[in-house]
Chains A and B, each alone.
Chain A
Amino acid sequence: MNSSALVTSIAGVLAAAAPVLFAVIGETISERAGVLNLSMNGMILLSAMGSFAVALATNSVVLGFLAGAAIGALVSLVVTFASLTLLQSQVAVGFVLAQLCRDLSYFLGNPIMGKVGPRISQVPIPGLERIPVLGTILFRQDVMTYLSFILIVAAWFFIFRTRPGLTLRGVGERPAAAYIRGANVNRLRYLYAAIGGAIAGLAGPIYSLSIKAGWKGTISGLDGIGWIVLSITIFGGWKPFRAAFGAYLFAFLQWLGLVLQPSLPSVPSQVLQVAPFPLMILTLLFVNIGNAEWVDRSLARLPENVRRDIVRVLRAMNATPPAALGVPFEKE
C-alpha cells in the first residue's frame, strides 16, 4: 500500500468511527448520570431508518438528523421512565427495547428499502485541507465527522471542567450525596438520559445519510454496532478521550478486516468481518482483569519489581463504573 492510500484509509477510519463515537459519548453521558441504556442496538437501527425516511420525505438532511436525535432521545426516555418512575429494571427494559426497535425498524422501513435519498457529502475546509497528510486526514471530512472531533473535547470539558458536569458525575456516583447538595436527582437523570440519547441517536443518520447512505433493511450491516457501543463505553472507562480511542480502535479493526481479506483467501470473509467484535470483548476483559481475585492471588508471589510494574499497568487500565449505575434513587 502506498502512502497516499494509507492516508486516505486513515481518513476513512476516522469517518467510519464517527457514528460509533456519537453513540459511545451519548451513552457515556447517560451512564454518568446513572442511566444504563441497553436499547442502543435497536435504537441506532430505528434512528437510521427513521432519519432516512424523514430526509427522503422532506428532502432535507437537516430534518433527517433532527429526527435521528429525536428518536434517540425518545427511546432513552422510555428506558428512563420505566426505571425511574415505574421502578422497573433498566436492564430488562433496555434489552426488550433493543429487540423491539430493531424489529420495528425492519418492519416500518420496508417501503423505503433501497430508495435513493439525500446524503451529506464531504466539506473540505479551505486552506487547512492543503496541509500535507493532516489535511487529508482531518480536514477533508463531512460535517458530522468534524462534529465528532469537537464532541470528544466538548464532552470531556463538560464532564470534567464545568459545574453541571460535576453534578452529573455526582448524580451517577452517589445520588444521596448529590441530593443533599441540592441536585434534583431524578430530573437530572431524565435530562442527561435524553441528551445522551439524542447524541447517540445521531449515529443512525450518520450511517443512513452518509457512511452507508440509504436503508437496506436487514442487510444494512448495522445490527450489532449498538452492542459494541455498549462495550466501548465500558472500555472507555466513562471518559470521552478513552472512549474515543476505543471507537477508533474498533473502526480500525473493521478496516483491517477489509484490507486483509484479499491477502488471506483461505479465511472466510465472514470471519474477518466479525473479528472486531470478539477482539473488542477481549480488550474489555483486559481492562477489568485487574479486579479479579485470582490475578491478585497470582501476582502476590511474583518478584517485587515485576509485580509493581504489572500492578501499575493494571491500575492505569482499570475503569470503575459510576457507582449508582442502574440503581434508582429514592429519598426515604
Chain B
Amino acid sequence: MQVEVRGITKCFGAVRANDNISFTVPSSSIEGILGENGAGKSTLMKILSGFYSSDSGDIILDGEKVTIDDPADAIRQGIGMLHQDPLDFPPFKVIDDFILGKKGGLIPNRRAAIREFNELATRFDFSIDPESYVDTLTVGERQQLEILRLLWLGSRVLILDEPTTGISLPQKEKLFATLKKLASEGMTVLFVSHKLEDVEALCNRATVLRQGRLVGTVEPPFDTKVLVEMMFGKEIPQEPKTQLRMGTTVLHAKHVELEGIRIQIKNIDLRVRAGEVIGVAGMEGSGQILFLSACAGLAQPVKGSICLDEDEKDMTGKTYHEFRKKGVVYLPAARLEQALIPGLSLTEHFILSEGMKGLFIDRKKSEELAKSRISLFNIKGRPDSPVESLSGGNQQRALLALMRDPLKLILIEHPTRGLDVESTIYIWGKLKERCARGTAIVFISSDLHEILKYSDRVLVFFAGRVTPPLRASTLTVERLGRLIGGKDWDSIETEVSHA
C-alpha cells in the first residue's frame, strides 16, 4: 500500500513536534526514517497509526485521502505499528496477547488461533511457544510476537519505531530478513531508527527529520557523512579511544553464584578497578542484569561474595542503600518504570536526587540547578517539563544528569539505548570524564560496537556461563557475536587476560 503524508503538523504546547511534513512511500519498499533525539519521528508515526491526531495535514493511502480515528481504525485500514516499547501484556500467555483485539465470537477459538500463530511463526522462522508467558520472552521475541499479531490482523503497512535498540545481533538479522521478505510480498515498511548502519543495511530509501521538519530524502548508496550532516545540521567528529591508567580495586566479585527465576549462573570472578570500563555482553536474559543487580545489593548471590574497595569489605547480603552509601549506583534500562518518576518535573527530580537539606524546597536554587544541568547535558526540555513528555533520548540524558558526583562505581544497563549518534558520543564523553576521575563503570549493552568501543574489558554471558574478563582490544564484532551465540567458547581458556 502506498503511504503519503501531506503537510502534517503537530504541536505539544509550544513544541512543534511535526512541522508541515510531506512525503510519499511506495508499496513494497522499506523507508528509513532518520533523525536525532526529539526530531519528531515517533510523533509522526503515532499520527499515522492513529495514536495522535494531527493539528493539520492529510494522510493518503493508495491515492485516497483517509481519516484515522484511533489505533484500531488504523489497523482496520491496514496500518500496524510496533511501538518503541512493545505494547503488549507481560503477565498474559502469548496466545492470549495474540488473540486480544481480534474480532470474533464470544468464545475465541484458541486452537485455531494457536494453529494460525504457529503457521505465521514458521513462515518467518520465529520460535515462540504460544502457551508461554509474555514476560518470559526477550524484547526481541516480544517484537516478533507483535509483528505476527499485526500481520494476522491484516496489516499492509508496518511501522517500526526503533526496533533494533533492545535486541541482540542474531535477532536483528532475523528481523531484517523478515522485513525484507515482507517488503518483497508487497508490504510497506516504515523503519524508524538512529542507527545509520541499520538504515544503510535495510532501507530502500531514507527520509531525514530535524526539529520537526523534513530535511530531505536520500537514495542508496548511502553516504554516512551526508546522513549525519542532514540529521544534526553539522558534522559529528568521532572521538579517539583513550587509554586510562587503572587504579585500585573498586569491586571484587568472588566466585559468585546467582539464581534467577529461569537462570542459574555459576562462578563469576571479577575484579573491577578504579577508572576501568567493563562491558557486559550476551543475549538478553542470559543473567547480565542479575549479575549487575548483585553488584549493587539488589539481588543476592547464593554462593560467593561481593566485596567493595581496596580493603575488600564484604558487602554480601547488604542492601542497595548501603551500597549507595559506598558510592555505587545502579541505572536500570526501564527508565520510566524504575528510575524516573512520571508526573514529576525535571527540577523536582534534581531536588530528589541531590537530597537537598532542610524541610522546605528552595525553588529558585533548585530551578537554577535544573537549568545548569539541562544545558550541561544538552537535554531538550525545560525545568518544569514532566519527565514523561521528554523524548526517549532526552529521558536517558536526564537520568545521567541525575547521577551524583563523585561515585566509585556506576552499574548501568544500556547507557545509550535509544540515543542518536551525537548523544551517544556525548554521554560516553561524560562517563569517561568520570572514569578519568576514578569512577569505574560496568555496563550492559546489546550494541556490540558500543561494547568494543568503550570498554577496557568484556564479560560475555551465555546460558548460565560467563567468560573470564576478555580484553576488548583482542575482540572483534564478529568474534563477540559468535561468543554471544555460544560458539567458540573452547578457545577462550587459552587467552584469558589478567588485568
Q: A residues within 8 Å of B by Cβ?
A: 161-164, 166-167, 169-170, 173-174, 176-183, 293, 296-297, 299-301, 304, 307, 320, 323, 331-332
CB pairs A–B below 8 angstroms (6 shown): A169-B92, A169-B96, A173-B89, A173-B91, A173-B92, A323-B91
Tell me the chain B residues, 432-487 only, with Cβ under 8 Å from chain A. Answer: none
* Bound form: Cα–Cα A183–B71 in Å: 10
Question: How far is it, in angstroms, between the C-alpha of A296 and the C-alpha of B87 when the chains are bound?
Answer: 30
What chain B residues lie within 8 Å of A331 (beta carbons)? 51, 70
Contacts A163-B106, A173-B92 hold; do A182 and B72 have CB atoms under 8 A apart?
Answer: yes
B103 and chain A: residue at smallest CB distance: A182
B319 within 8 A of A: yes
Whether the Cβ atoms of B317 and A177 lie closer than 8 Å is no
- Do residues B91 and A166 form an inter-chain contact, with CB atoms below 8 A? no
Q: Which residues of A contact B358 (CB under 8 A)?
A: none
Q: In the complex, what distance in Å separates the CA atom of A183 from the CA atom of B103?
A: 11
Q: Which residue of A162, A180, A297 is within 8 Å of B300 (Cβ)?
A: A297
Smallest beta-carbon distance A239→chain B, Å: 12
Cβ B92 vs Cβ A176 within 8 A:
no
Taking residues whose C-beta sits less than 8 angstroms from the other chain, chain B's interface range is 20 to 34
Q: Is the CB of B92 within 8 A of A300?
A: no
Which of A170, A176, A181, A300 lies in contact with B317, CB distance below 8 A? A300
**Within the assembled complex, what's the spacing in Å between the Cα atoms of A293 and B321?**
12
CA distance A169 to B106 in the complex (A): 15
* Contact A301-B317, Cβ < 8 Å, known A167-B100, A331-B51: yes
Specify the main secondary structure of chain A where it touches its partner: helix
Asked if B104 lies at the interface with its beta carbon under 8 angstroms from chain A, I say yes
Contacts of B51 in A (CB 8 A): 180, 331-332
- Top 7 closest pairs, chain A to chain B, by CB: A181-B101, A182-B72, A300-B300, A180-B71, A177-B87, A163-B108, A170-B100
Q: Which residues of A contact B88 (CB under 8 A)?
A: 174, 177
Mask, B239-267, CB within 8 Å of A = 1, is: 00000000000000000000000000000
B319 x A293 contact (CB < 8 A): yes
Q: Is the CB of A181 within 8 A of B70?
A: no
A161-B107, A169-B92, A170-B89 are known contacts. Are A181 and B300 too (CB-CB below 8 A)?
Answer: no
The CA-CA distance from A182 to B100 in the complex, in Å, is 9
B87 touches A176 (CB 8 A): yes
Task: Check A182 against B71 for contact (C-beta < 8 Å).
Answer: yes
Binding site for A on B (CB under 8 A): 49, 51-52, 70-72, 75, 81, 83, 87-92, 96, 99-101, 103-108, 299-302, 317, 319
CB distance from B12 to the nearest CB of A (A): 9
User: How many angstroms between the C-alpha atoms of A2 and B49 in the bound complex?
Assistant: 69
Nearest CB of chain A from residue B342's CB, rounded to whole Å: 10
B388 CB to nearest chain A CB (Å): 11
Contacts of A173 in B (CB 8 A): 89-92
Knowing that A163-B99, A166-B108, A176-B87 touch, tell me 9 more A-B residue pairs with CB under 8 angstroms.
A166-B99, A167-B100, A174-B87, A177-B88, A180-B101, A182-B71, A293-B319, A307-B302, A332-B51
Chain A residues contacting B92 (CB-CB under 8 Å) are 169-170, 173
B467 to chain A, nearest CB (A): 25
Bound: A157/B106 CA distance, A? 11
B106 with A296: CB separation less than 8 A: no
Most A-side CB within 10 Å, residue of B49, B51, B81, B104:
B51
Complex: chain B residue closest to A294, CB-CB:
B319
> Is the beta-carbon distance between B107 and A162 smaller than 8 angstroms?
yes
Give Cα A181–Cα B71 distance, bound, in whole angstroms: 7
Residues of chain B within 8 A of A179, CB atoms compared: 70-72
* Closest-CB distance, A294 to chain B (whole angstroms): 9
Given contacts A161-B107, A296-B300, contact A178 B71 (CB under 8 A): no
Residue of A161, A162, A163, A301 with most chain B CB atoms under a 10 A cut-off: A163
Contact assessment for B96 and A182 in the assembled complex, using a CB-CB cutoff below 8 Å: no
